[in-house]
Amino acid sequence: MDYHNQDSGAPGGLRKRQQQIGKNTGSILDMLPGDMDPLLLSDEKHKASGVRGASSGPAGKYNTGLLPNGNLQWGIILTLTFAALFTRLYKISWANFVVWDEAHFGKFAGHYLKRTFYFDVHPPLGKMINGLAGFVGGFNGTFEFESGHTYPPELHYPVMRIANALFGAGMVPLAYLTGIQLHLSVPAATLLATMVLCDVALTCISRFILLDSMLLFFTATSVFCLCRFRNLQISAPFSEDWWIWIFATGISLGAVASVKWVGLFAIALVGLHTIQELWDMLGDLKMPPARYARHWMARIAALIVTPIAVYILSFAIHFAVLNRSGPGDAQMSSLFQAGLKGNDFDQNPLELAYGSRVSLKNNGHGGGLLHSHVQRYPTGSEQQQVTCYHHKDSNNHWVITKAWGKENATSPDGVDFVQDGDVLRLVHASTGRNLHSHPVKAPITTAQNEVSCYGNATIGDANDLWKVEIVDDLFDKKTKRVKSLTTRFRLRHNLSGCLLRSHAVSLPQWGFKQAEVVCQKKGDPDSRNHMWNIEQHMHDILPPGGKGAYRSKFSKDFIDLNVAMWTSNNALTPDPDKEPDQLTSAPYQWPLMLVGLRMCGWGDDAIKYWLIGNPVVWWGSTASLGVFLLIVGAYAVRSRRRYRDWDVPGSWDDFVFVGQLGFVGWALHYLPFWVMGRVTYLHHYFPALYFAIITFAFVADHIGSKLPRLLHLGLIMALGVLVVANFIYFKDFAWGFNTPAEGYRARKWVQNWNLVD
Amino acid sequence: MLTAHMPGAKEQPQEDDLLRKRKPTKPDTSVAAEEHPVSPSSSAESTIPSALDKDDSKTLSKTPVDDDDKYAPRKLKSAVAVATSAAPTAEADTNISLGVLVTLTILALGVRLFQISNPSQVGDCLDTPAFDRYSGGQTPEWVVFDEVHFGGFASKYINGTFFMDVHPPLGKLMIAASGLAAGFDGVFDFKEIGKDYIAPRVPYVSMRLLPGILGVLVVPMSYLTMKNLGAANATAVMTALFVAFENALTCQSRLILLDSILVFFTALSVQMWTHFQSVKNRPFTLQWWMSLALCGAGIGLAASVKWVGLFVIAWVGLSTVKYLWDLLGNPRVSSMVYIKHFMALATCLIGIPVVIYMLSFQIHFMMLPKIGSGTGFMSPEFQSTLQGNELTETFAEIAYGADIMIRHENTQGGYIHSHKHFYPTGSKQQQITLYPYADANSIIHILPALEFVNKTAVEPQVVEFKQIKHGDVVRLEHGPTKMKVHSHDHRAPVSDAKGNFEVSGYGAPGFLGDSNDHWRVEILDHDPENPYLFALQKFRLIHQNTGCALFSHAVKLPEWGFGQQEVLCSQNGKKQLSTWRIDFNENPLQPETSKKVGYPKPSFLSKFIESHKVMWRINSGLDGVHPYQSRPLSWPVLSRGISFWSAKAGTAKMHLMGNPLVWAAAGAALGLYVLLEAIAAVLSKRQMTYVAGVFADTTRGAGLLFMGWVLHYAPFFLMSRQLFLHHYLPSLYFSILLFGVLFDGITRRILGGSSILQWIAASLGAAACIAVFVSFSPLTYGLPMSKEHCQGLKWRKEWDWDCK
C-alpha cells in the first residue's frame, strides 16, 4: 500500500506532510513509510512532472532490495528474531515425556534412524528433518515414543524439539520481511511479525516434535518469495534477482507440499497469482511475443517443474533411506517389499508351479493377504472363514493343487508350471481345506457369494475349482505363466464365473475385523480388487529367482505410496453416530477460536500444554477478513458511482495484490476443510491463520493510512500492545504449567473452552 | 444516425479508458446517455435514438458477469455491431409473427400428442395376466416407468392419505388435479410397472395430457425467447423446431412425469426474464412489471415442481446482480430510484417465488389430512396432525409400576420393542429392537431398582404412586415376556465397534435379575425445582454399571431381527441418538386427578421445515443402483438412453433417447461459445477491440444462456445420488437456445445479413432435424418398426436398446 500517495488526493495533504516530516526528523514518526522511503522526494517530483514521472515512482518502490535502508530495520529484525527464539525455546525441555503427536512423529523419526519402512499419510520431508534432528540428538531409533512415556536419558529430545522450534522462530522475521515486501508501513510490518510472534497457538505448536512448524515456516517462505518475486517482476523482470526469487518460490512450494499436503493450497495460491500475471501481461502490447513466451517458460520451469522435482526428490530420499522391511510393508506392492532388506522374497522361485506354497496379495488399495483360520462363519454356510489380512503368518499359505481328477497328470520332468487359463484348487496349508465358493450370501456384502474353506484332500466338489486369468506382468508382457510378485491375475470361480475379491469391508468381531473376501458376480475385470499376485513363493524343486529378478520401479512405488496415502487420509472419517471426542474440532469453530485442545494429560501436577490462540490475533484477524470485504465492496460501489480513489498508478494493483494474497490465501487454506470428510483438528487452521494475520495487518494499515499520522501510528501500536499483553496473559498455555488448571479459570473466556471442566 | 456514430465508435474506448481511470469527476452527459440508456426519466428515453436502444439491449443481455476490464471493448463492439451489421433486417425481424407462433404451436401439438390417447405401448412386465389378455392384437395401456410414483401420488392426493416424496408438491398436485378433472377416483394405486389402466377405467390419457400440453407450450416459448434475444425470425423458427422435434423432450412429455412440467416452468422463466431484459430501459412500465412478476412466478413454480428449479432461481439471481451492478454505474439513477428498482426486483423475484413455494406446501398439507404411507417418516408431533393417528393423550406423571412405551427421538425407528427371538451372536439372549408401531410387544413396565439384602436381590414392592425423577435408577421390564432390558460386556450385534454394548432381554422365572438391569434416568435440561419425569419429556437412560447410554440409530438388524432397528448401549454415542420420550403411560395407581398430555400440534412453518429435512434425507439416501442410471459426464454426449418399456413380441419399445442431431448441435454450440469467448477475451486483452467486438457481437445473448446451461448442469457433479439422463433436459433447453443464438450470429455475419439466405440455412437445419426425429420416432412413441430400422438407429455401440 502506497501510504503517502494515498493522502495526496486531499488538497495539499502531501505537501503539508512533507513540512511536518522535515520538522520531525528523528522522531518515532520516522517509522511511517513515507519517511523511511528514500524515494519520497523523487515521488514528489514525479507528482509535479505529471503522469509519466509518477509511473516510474512506484516502479522505484518495487525496486527497494530485500529491505529499505536504515539501521532501524536491522534493529527491528534482530529484536523480533531474539524475541522469537526466546518464546519458542524457553523451557522447551521441561516436559520430559512424549507430548501429543510426538508419539507419531518421534516414532517416524526413529524409523529413519533404524531404516525400517513405515507408512503414514503425510509426505516425508518434515519427518526426515525430524529424523535428522534425532540423529544429531543421539537418538538410535529404539525408543518407541509411546504417548506420555518419559524420554530415556540417552535420547536428547530437546535437540529434536529445538529443530522444530527454530522453524517456528524463523516465521517471525519472515513475517516482517514479507510485510516490507508488501509495502506495509514499518509499524504495520512490525505488527504483522508481532502477531506471529505472540500468537500462543503458533508458539505452542512450534515447541514439539511435529510437522506443523515446518509446514508454517515453508508456507511463510513461499509467501515471502512470492512477494519478493512480484516486486522484481514489476521493477526488473529477468534480472538475476528475479531468477533467484522465482526459483526460490518454486523450491519453497515444493518443500511445503512435501511436508503436508495442505501445502498444495499454497501452490494453488501461487498458481492463481501466476495465471493472473500472465493474463495481465497478455494485455501489454509492448511486450514482444518471445519475451512473453520466456515468461511462460520461466514459470513452468520454476513454479511447476521445480516443486514437483522437490516433492519427488523427498520421496526418492525416503525410499533410499528406508531400505529395511518394517511396519509399512503391507501398504506397498509385493514387488516393492521384495526390494527391502529383511524379507526373503528373493528366495521366491520365478514361476508358479503345481505344488507351490504361496501367499496371495490382493492388489486393491491397501489390500491384504488371502487368509483362512479354523474359525467358522456364524452365518451362511457356517464353513471355515476366508478373509484378507495384513499380518504375515502361516495361515496365509496356500498350496497350488491340480483340479479334482487330474492329480496325477504330471509332466515328465516333474515340474508342472501353472499356465494362463488353468483350472486348479487352492489348498489352505495349515487346515488342508480347499478354497471354495457357492451361491450363499456373503456375510456382509450380501449381494455377493460367500467364499469359504471346505473339505479336505479327498472331500470336495466342483465349487473348489478356480480358473487363473493372467492380467499382465510388469516385465514380461506376453507371459503365459504366473510369475512371483510381478504377474497380476484374477481367480475366477470355475462353476459360477464370479471373481475372487477382497475389499475394504471389515468383518465383525467374529471375523477379528479382518477384511471380507467375497466372490463377485459380474465382477468388473479391470478392478484392482479382483487382482492378485503371488507374494511369498516356496517350492521344493524350483530354484530361487534371486534379487535381480524382483526390482520395482521408483515411479510405480511413488504412485502406489501416494495413492495409499490418499486412501488412508480419506479413511480418517469420524463416526456419524458418535459424539466427537475432545481432540477433534469442526472448521466453523476455528476462526472464532471456540475450541482449545489439551495436548497431554490434565492431572493437577502434570506439566500441561493447552493449544489455544491469542484472542486478539484470532478474533481480530477473523474480523479483518470481513472488514476487508467491506472495504472492497465500498471501493467497488464508489468506483461504480465514479468517485476517484486510486489516482496513483499501481496503488490499486497493490491493494488488490495484498488483499488477494491475504484473503484468497486464507480462503484457500480454510474452506477446503469444510468439504473434507476426514476428521479435522484445531491446528489445521494455522496456515490459514497466517494469511488472516497478513490481512489483519494490511487492513489496520490501510485504515490507519486514512487517519492523521499520529492516529495511524497510535492505532497500530495499540493493537501491538494488546497482542503482547494477551500473549503474556496466556503464555503459560504455550510454555506449560504444572499447577491445577483450576487456577486459570479466569482465562476461560469462552464457554466451550475445555481449559477447566 | 448510424453514420453519425461511426466515428464515435472509434473514440469511445478512449472515453471509456478515461472513465476506468476515474478521470472525469463529472461524467459527460452525452457519454452517459450512450452508455446507460437505462433511465428512469421518460424525457431521456425520447432523446435516445432507437438504434441505441437496441444496441444497449444487445450489450446488456450479452454477458451476465461482466467485469470492469471487459467493459470498454464490449461497449465498442456493440457500437461496431450497429454500424456494421445490417440493422434494417434486424429491425424487421423484431416483430413477433403471430402466424408463426400459432403454426409452431399446432405443429408441436402434433409432435407431442401424436397418438397419446392410444399408443401401441406394450409393457415389459411380461408375466402380468394383463399382457396375456391383450397380446392378441389390441394395444393395452399400462403403468410405465416412474408413473408408478407420480400416478401413485395423484391417487394419494385424491384419497387424502399422507405420503412423503423427495420432490416439492406442485407438479404432483397438478397431475392429481388433471386426474380429478377427468374423474379419477383414486382407487387405482399405480403399484407396479405394467399394471393395466383400461379395466379400472383410469383416465390416464388426460393425466398424460397435462405434461403433454406443457411440453407443447415449450415450443412457442422458445420462439418468443429467441425473439427477446434479438434473433432473426428464421433462426427463432428453426430453434423452436429444434425444441419441437427433440425426441427426449417429446418422450418425456408423454408420460405422467414431472420433468416436462419442470422444463415448461423453466422455459417460462427464461422467456419472462429475457423479455424483462429487452424492456429494461423502460422501467416501471406495465410491460416491465408484468415480465418481472411473471418471471418471479415462473421461477417459483419451477422450484415448487422439483428442486432443480432452484438452479433457474440462481440463474435469474446472478443476472439480477449484474443488472443492479449496471444500474449502479448509471450516474442518472438517483439513490431513491435505485432503491425503488431494488425493492421491485426483490418483491418480484424473491417475494413471489417464496409465496408460491410455501403456498404449494400449504395446499399439499391440506390435501393430505389422513395418515398414509409417509407417516412413518415424520416426527410424532407431525403425525398428531393427521387423521387416524394412534397418538392419544396420555397421563403426564410417570410413576413406578406404569406401563409405558418409549419412543426413540431423532430416528423414525419407533418404540423399544422385544419379542421371543434371540440374538444369534453375543449373549444369545432375547432381542431388544425398535419397532415403529405401538403393539403389545412395545409395552414396558417400569420398576424400581433391585434392593440387595446380604447380597441377595430383593424385589421392592410398588404400593404407592411414586413419581420417577431425575437421577432415579429404574428397571425396564418387557410387558409380555417379563424380560428385563439388560446390558453387559458383549459387543452390539451389528455395530460392534468398541464402546458399543449389546442390549438384551434377560431374566428367568424365579430369577430377579442383576444390577446389569439398572438404568439411571437423566432428564435433559431438567428443572431442579421440579425434577420429575413427565410424558413427552426428553430423557436418556444410562446403564448404571458401565455408564453407557441406551442408544439406537438408523441401522437395521439382519433377517434374524426382522429388519428392525438396532438398539445398543453406547459409551460415546451422539446425545441426540440416545434420547427418548414416553408417549404412552398407564398406571393402575394413577390418581384420577392426573393431567393428560398429547403432542403439541406444530405450526405450518415447523411442518414445512420438517418436511424439508425429511426430503433432504430421503434425497441423499437415493443411492440405490438402477440399470439405466448415469453420471452427468455422459449426458451432453448422449451416451445412453433409458428404456421406458419394450414389447415382448415385436420391436415396439419406448426409449428415452435424444435427437442426436439436436444434441450434437447443442454440444457444438457450447464448445464454440467457449472458444469464441476465449478468442474475444484474448483479442480484447490485446486491444484488438474491433475484431474482438465482431466476435463478441456474434455471441450476443449467448452468455446468459451459457450461464443457464452451466447452472443447470454443473451442480449434478456434486450429487452422489442416483441420476438419470432426464435430469439433463433443462440444461438441454438452454443449450438448444444457445445453438440458436450462435447460429443467428454466425449466419448473420457470414451471409451478410441477407434474410433470404438465412431462411435457407435455417430451413436446411430444421429439415435435417425433422428427418432425424422421424427416424428415431418409433423409440419415442413406442411404435413397431422393422428390425433393420431398429438396428440402423444404433449409431453408437453404447446405444443398447434391444432389436430382437
Q: What CATH number corresponds to the domain at position A389?
A: 2.80.10.50
Task: Of A662, A304, A351, A355, give the one whose Cα is nearest residue A487.
Answer: A351
Same domain, residue pair A648 and A536: no
B22 in A contact zone (CB under 8 Å): yes
Res B644 pLDDT > 50: yes
Q: Which residues are CB-neighbours of A322 under 8 A, at least 6 positions away? A: A111, A112, A115, A116, A117, A118
Task: Of B543, B652, B528, give the one whose Cα is nearest residue B140.
Answer: B652
User: Does the beta-carbon distance from A640 to B329 stay under 8 Å?
Assistant: yes
The pLDDT of residue B485 is 93
User: Does the beta-carbon distance from A285 to B328 stay under 8 Å?
Assistant: no
Q: What is the CA radius of gyration of chain B?
A: 34
Same domain, residue pair A544 and A620: no
Give a yes or no: residue A199 inside a domain.
yes
User: Does the beta-carbon distance from A578 to B23 stay under 8 Å?
Assistant: no
CA distances from B161 to B184, B478, B599 (A): 16, 33, 21
Q: Which of B22, B23, B574 sits opposite A577 (nearest CB)?
A: B574
Res B51 pLDDT > 80: no
Pick the residue from chain A with its C-alpha nearest to B571: A578
User: Does the beta-carbon distance from B491 to A279 stay under 8 Å?
Assistant: no
The pLDDT of residue B560 is 85
**Which range has the worst mean pLDDT, A38-52, A364-378, B718-732?**
A38-52
Alpha carbon distance B519, B432 (integer Å): 15
Which residue segment(s) compose the domain that A376 sits in? 334-570
Torsion, CA A554, CA A559, CA A565, CA A568, rounded to 10: -120
CA distances from B508 to B16, B152, B256, B488, B569 (A): 93, 49, 58, 17, 22
User: Does the beta-carbon distance from B25 to A279 stay under 8 Å?
Assistant: no
Task: Of A484, A536, A513, A518, give the one whose Cα is nearest residue A389.
Answer: A513
Containing B509, the helix (H) or strand (E) segment is none
Q: Mutate which of B20, B22, B720 to test chain A, going by most A C-beta atoms within 10 A?
A: B22
B572 in A contact zone (CB under 8 Å): yes
Alpha carbon distance B689, B682 (integer Å): 10
Q: Which residues are CB-neighbours of B784 under 8 A, at least 6 positions away? A: B120, B647, B650, B651, B652, B778
Alpha carbon distance B476, B521 (integer Å): 11
* Percent of chain A's residues with pLDDT above 70: 90
Q: Which of A508, A579, A637 sits opposite B574 (nearest CB)?
A: A579
CA distances from B551 to B434, B554, B575 (A): 10, 11, 9
- pLDDT category of residue B11 using cuts at 50, 70 and 90: very low
Cβ atoms < 10 Å from Cβ of A331: 23
Chain B residues whose CB is inside 8 A of the A639 CB are: 22, 68
Q: Which of A379, A509, A637 sits opposite B328 (nearest CB)?
A: A637
The whole-number average pLDDT for the span A504-520 is: 85
| φ, ψ dihedrals at A21, nearest 5° | -60, -45
Give a yes or no: residue A296 inside a domain.
yes
Q: Residue B468 has which C-alpha cell?
A: 420417577
Could you say which of A515, A536, A570 is where a domain stops? A570
Condensed to tens digits (0 to 9), the pLDDT of residues A657-683 reads 999 999 999 999 999 999 887 889 999
Pairs across A and B, CB distance < 8 A? 60
Q: Which of A576, A637, A639 sits opposite B22 (nearest CB)?
A: A639
The pLDDT of residue B64 is 39
Same domain, residue pair A206 and A268: yes
Chain A residues whose CB is inside 8 A of the B577 CB are: 577
3-state DSSP percent of chain A in helix, strand and coil, to 5: 50, 15, 35
The pLDDT of residue B615 is 92
Q: Is A522 exposed, middle or buried (0-12, 13-18, 19+ CB in 10 A)?
A: exposed
The pLDDT of residue A69 is 65
Same domain, residue pair A354 and A466: yes
Condensed to tens digits (0 to 9), the pLDDT of residues B254-299 reads 888 999 999 999 999 999 999 999 998 888 999 999 999 999 999 9
Alpha carbon distance B759, B763 (integer Å): 6
**Which range has the worst mean pLDDT, A169-173, B202-206, B370-374?**
B202-206
Res B8 pLDDT > 50: no
B678 in A contact zone (CB under 8 Å): no
Q: Which residues are CB-neighbours of A650 under 8 A, at least 6 positions away? A: A2, A55, A58, A59, A234
Q: Where are the beta strands (DSSP E) in A569-675?
A: 597-598, 610-611
B342 in A contact zone (CB under 8 Å): no
Same domain, residue pair A159 and A281: yes
Give a yes or no: residue A644 inside a domain.
yes
B784 in A contact zone (CB under 8 Å): no
User: Does the beta-carbon distance from B687 to A577 stay under 8 Å?
Assistant: no
Q: Which residues are CB-neighbours of A282 under 8 A, at least 6 positions away? A: A292, B682, B685, B686
Cβ atoms < 10 Å from Cβ of A75: 10
The pLDDT of residue A110 is 92
- pLDDT category of residue B80 using cuts at 50, 70 and 90: very low
Same domain, residue pair A286 and A344: no
The pLDDT of residue B28 is 39
Alpha carbon distance A114, A106 (integer Å): 13
The pLDDT of residue A333 is 85
Q: Is B309 exposed, middle or buried (0-12, 13-18, 19+ CB in 10 A)?
A: buried
Domains with residue ranges and CATH for chain B: 98-364+626-792 (no CATH), 394-598 (2.80.10.50)
The whole-number average pLDDT for the span B475-504 is: 89
Give a yes or no: residue A114 inside a domain.
no
Condensed to tens digits (0 to 9), the pLDDT of residues A337-388 reads 888 888 878 788 888 998 899 999 998 877 789 999 998 998 888 899 999 9
The number of folded domains in chain A is 2
The pLDDT of residue A64 is 61
| Gap from B291 CA to chain A (nearest CA, Å) | 27
Condensed to tens digits (0 to 9), the pLDDT of residues A238-264 reads 999 999 999 999 999 999 999 999 999
User: Does the beta-carbon distance from B25 to A578 stay under 8 Å?
Assistant: no
Q: Which of B494, B577, B686 sits opposite A285 (nearest CB)?
A: B686
Give a yes or no: residue A103 inside a domain.
no
| More reliable by pLDDT, B648 or B588 | B588
| More reliable by pLDDT, A47 or B498 | B498
Chain B residues whose CB is inside 8 A of the A279 CB are: 685
- pLDDT category of residue A31 using cuts at 50, 70 and 90: low
Res A279 pLDDT > 80: yes
Contact, A188 vs A700, CB < 8 A?
Answer: yes
| Gap from B458 CA to chain A (nearest CA, Å) | 36
Alpha carbon distance B632, A365 (integer Å): 26
Count of positions (residues) in chain A: 757
Chain B residues whose CB is inside 8 A of the A647 CB are: 22
One-letter identity of residue A664: V
- pLDDT category of residue B145 using cuts at 50, 70 and 90: confident
| Gap from B231 CA to chain A (nearest CA, Å) | 31
| Gap from A151 CA to chain B (nearest CA, Å) | 30
Res B23 pLDDT > 70: no
Q: Mutate which of B574, B623, B683 to test chain A, going by most A C-beta atoms within 10 A?
A: B574
Res B63 pLDDT > 50: no
Pick the residue from chain A with its C-alpha nearest to B27: A642
Same domain, residue pair A347 and A305: no
User: Does the beta-carbon distance from B329 to A645 stay under 8 Å?
Assistant: no
- CB proximity under 8 Å: B 155-214 to A: none
Give a yes or no: residue A52 inside a domain.
yes
Cβ atoms < 10 Å from Cβ of B527: 9
User: Does the beta-carbon distance from B572 to A581 stay under 8 Å?
Assistant: yes
The whole-number average pLDDT for the span A178-200 is: 94
Contact, A323 vs A336, CB < 8 A?
Answer: no
Same domain, residue pair A220 and A260: yes
The pLDDT of residue B628 is 85
Beta pairing class for B500-506 and B484-491? antiparallel
Same domain, residue pair A641 and A504: no
**Which range has the worst mean pLDDT, A589-598, A655-664, B95-104?**
B95-104
The pLDDT of residue B35 is 38
Question: pTM for this one?
Answer: 0.82
The pLDDT of residue B726 is 93
Q: Which of A577, A641, A642 sits opposite B573 (nearest CB)?
A: A577
Q: Is A435 helix (H, G, I), strand (E, B) or coil?
A: strand
B688 in A contact zone (CB under 8 Å): no
Beta pairing class for A434-441 and A487-493? unpaired
Q: Is B571 helix (H, G, I), strand (E, B) or coil?
A: coil
Condensed to tens digits (0 to 9), the pLDDT of residues B376-409 reads 888 888 988 998 887 888 898 999 999 999 999 8
User: Does the beta-carbon distance from A575 to B497 stay under 8 Å?
Assistant: yes
Alpha carbon distance B167, B310 (integer Å): 12
Same domain, residue pair A482 and A432: yes
ipTM of the complex: 0.76
The whole-number average pLDDT for the span A528-536 is: 91
The pLDDT of residue A179 is 94
| Gap from B127 CA to chain A (nearest CA, Å) | 25
Q: Mutate which of B15, B20, B21 to test chain A, going by most A C-beta atoms within 10 A?
A: B21
Alpha carbon distance B258, B415 (integer Å): 37
B797 in A contact zone (CB under 8 Å): no
Alpha carbon distance A303, A271 (integer Å): 8
Alpha carbon distance A210, A684 (integer Å): 13
Q: Residue B608 has which C-alpha cell?
A: 414445512
User: Does the beta-carbon distance from A641 to B574 stay under 8 Å?
Assistant: no
Alpha carbon distance A618, A423 (integer Å): 67
User: Does the beta-carbon distance from A641 to B329 stay under 8 Å?
Assistant: yes
| Gap from B641 CA to chain A (nearest CA, Å) | 22
Q: Residue B266 has which C-alpha cell?
A: 423453466
CA distances from A171 to A192, A328, A332, A458, A611 (A): 11, 33, 36, 72, 18
Give a yes or no: residue A240 inside a domain.
yes
Chain A residues whose CB is inside 8 A of the B568 CB are: none
User: Does the beta-carbon distance from B570 to A641 stay under 8 Å?
Assistant: no
Alpha carbon distance B601, B384 (integer Å): 7
Contact residues of A toward B, CB < 8 A: 279, 282-283, 285, 378-379, 508-510, 575-579, 581, 637, 639-647
User: Does the beta-carbon distance from A378 to B425 stay under 8 Å?
Assistant: yes
* Percent of chain B's residues with pLDDT above 90: 44
Contact, B507 vs B483, CB < 8 A?
Answer: yes
| More reliable by pLDDT, A27 or A565 | A565
Give a yes or no: residue A754 inside a domain.
no
User: Does the beta-carbon distance from A283 to B425 stay under 8 Å?
Assistant: no
- pLDDT category of residue A470 using cuts at 50, 70 and 90: very high
Could you say which of A570, A601, A624 is where a domain stops? A570
Chain A residues whose CB is inside 8 A of the B424 CB are: 378-379
Alpha carbon distance B606, B609 (integer Å): 5
Same domain, residue pair A369 and A518: yes
| Gap from A284 CA to chain B (nearest CA, Å) | 7
Alpha carbon distance A216, A53 (integer Å): 41
Same domain, residue pair A227 and A288: yes
